[in-house]
Amino acid sequence: IKVLRGPNYWSIKRQKIIQFTIDLQELEQKPTDTIPGFLERLQQLLPSLHEHRCSLGKPGGFFERVAQGTWMGHVIEHIALELQIMAGIDVGFGQTRGTGVEGVYHVAFEYGEEAEGRYTVQAAVALAEALIKGEAYDVVNAVAEIRQLWLKEKLGPSTGSIVAEAKSRGIPAKRLDDDSMVQLGYGCHQKRIEATITSQTSMLAVDIACDKHKTKQLLQEANLPVPAGEVVTTTESLQKAIETIGYPVAIKPLSGNHGKGATVNIQDWEHAACAFQRAQQYGAEVIVEQFVRGKDFRILVVNYKFIAAALRTPATVTGDGCHTIRELIAIANKDPRRGNGHDNVLT
């Protein structure tokens, strides 16, 4: 298996290509129209392959090719693409070409992320073997594994948006590690980013933004309204701070993010003490401040200009008199924009 990560023999535009070589052996003499029940089993197992136009250029075109007789390398190519599409991955390019040796073919298809692409090769070959033998194959499990591998490796929503915008402008993008380090462009014109931090982002600004108390001090010096608060490290200092500030309060780690360890609208000491212990799981220094009721916005600024704002709301469900809370949660989680951890736009 070869994993291609840039302009390649198969495509200049499609730069993430998996290529593998397969020896059909005796299947070279058995195109799909000679395998009893193969088409019917394929249609039953992967009915969505109907959308693959193939060389005929129309929906159902691939199934027509299978009915007329095509070779197994070609079938595996389409299975690999469809398994990824079912997993929510936007792919579409694939080709199968002979090597010059009878029965041996190069199969190439677009992938989402490397580990996911490697697994997809194995899954597509195993599924094709099951179809040939008339055996059962767990498509649901294979698709779930492909999706899990893809979500584990793919760029987060913010970094992914930057890369997508760069590509839309004709700027090549290359991922440099397993995290969020990305190179945009080549040679002397290249720029590197890590997540949403660029080579032009001030380290001082990043350090300040990671310190809630310091950020608040600077905003206050600029005559912007901020909630009263203090940094505490013990329950004694917490109690003194609350006596000064007054309830209700919010308690959170000084250097936390994503809302981890944060508790808001605390009305009494019992809950304040519990919130303090929870916040200290993420760091010894905890900030306690006046709770201000309002909306939470995330602001995007590019080159000193306001570009967009997102209203951030905790995940909630509203009773409808018919479903249980657990059922309502399950319904809400069907939204394709939701995900596990930090891997999608609503999470």
Neighbour tally for 170: CB within 10 Å: 6
pLDDT of residue 343: 60
User: Distance between CA 45 and CA 79 in Å, rounded?
Assistant: 10
Residue 221 pLDDT > 80, yes or no?
yes
Q: Which fold has domain 212-290?
A: Dna Ligase; domain 1 (3.30.1490)
pLDDT(342) > 80: no
Give pLDDT tens digits for 38-81.
999 999 999 999 999 887 888 889 999 999 999 999 999 999 99
What distance in Å separates the CA atoms of residue 193 and residue 14, rounded to the nearest whole number? 22
pLDDT band at 259 (very low <50, low <70, confident <90, very high): confident
Which of 85, 46, 43, 82 has the alpha carbon at shortest distance from 64? Answer: 43
Tell me how far CA of residue 250 lies from CA of 160, 214, 223, 237, in angstroms. Answer: 32, 17, 22, 15
253: left (phi over 0), alpha (psi -120 to 50) or beta: beta
3-class secondary-structure state, position 19: strand
pLDDT tens-digit readout, 229-249: 999 999 999 999 999 999 999
Digit-coded pLDDT (tens) for 3-18: 998 888 899 888 899 9
What's the pLDDT score for residue 344?
64
CB environment 133-164: b (16+ within 10 A), e (fewer): eeeebebeebbebbbebbbebbbbeebeebbe
**Mean pLDDT of all residues in 141-145:** 95
User: How high is the pLDDT of residue 340?
Assistant: 67
* Cα separation, 135 vs 42, whole angstroms: 11
Question: For residue 347, what pLDDT is reported?
Answer: 63
Cis status of the peptide bond prior to 336, with omega within 30 of 0: no
Q: Where in the sequence of the chain do the CATH 3.30.1490.20 domains occur?
A: 212-290
| Cβ-contact 126, 41 below 8 angstroms | no
Least trusted range by pLDDT, from 78-87, 246-255, 300-309: 300-309
pLDDT at 186: 87
- Are 104 and 21 in contact by the 8 Å Cβ rule? The answer is yes
pLDDT digits (tens, 9 = 90+) for 83-131: 999 999 999 999 999 999 999 999 999 999 999 999 999 999 999 999 9
Helices 269-279 and 235-245: angle between axes, nearest 10 degrees: 130
pTM for this predicted structure: 0.74
**Residues sharing a CB contact under 8 Å with residue 185, sequence separation 6 or more, in sequence order:** 171, 172, 191
Instruction: Reply yes or no on whether the pLDDT at 225 is more than 70.
Output: yes
Q: How far apart are CA 221 and CA 218, in angstroms?
A: 5
Distance CA 79, CA 236 (A): 63
Residue 268 has pLDDT above 90, yes or no: yes
DSSP character string of 77-124: HHHHHHHHHHTT-----EEEEE-SSTTEEEEEEE-SSHHHHHHHHHHH
**The residue to which tokens 């206050």 are assigned:** 220
What average pLDDT is seen over the chain?
90
CB–CB of 342/156 below 8 Å? yes
Q: pLDDT at position 256, please?
A: 79
pLDDT tens by residue, 149-192: 998 888 888 888 888 899 899 898 888 888 889 999 988 989 99
pLDDT average, residue stretch 30-37: 92
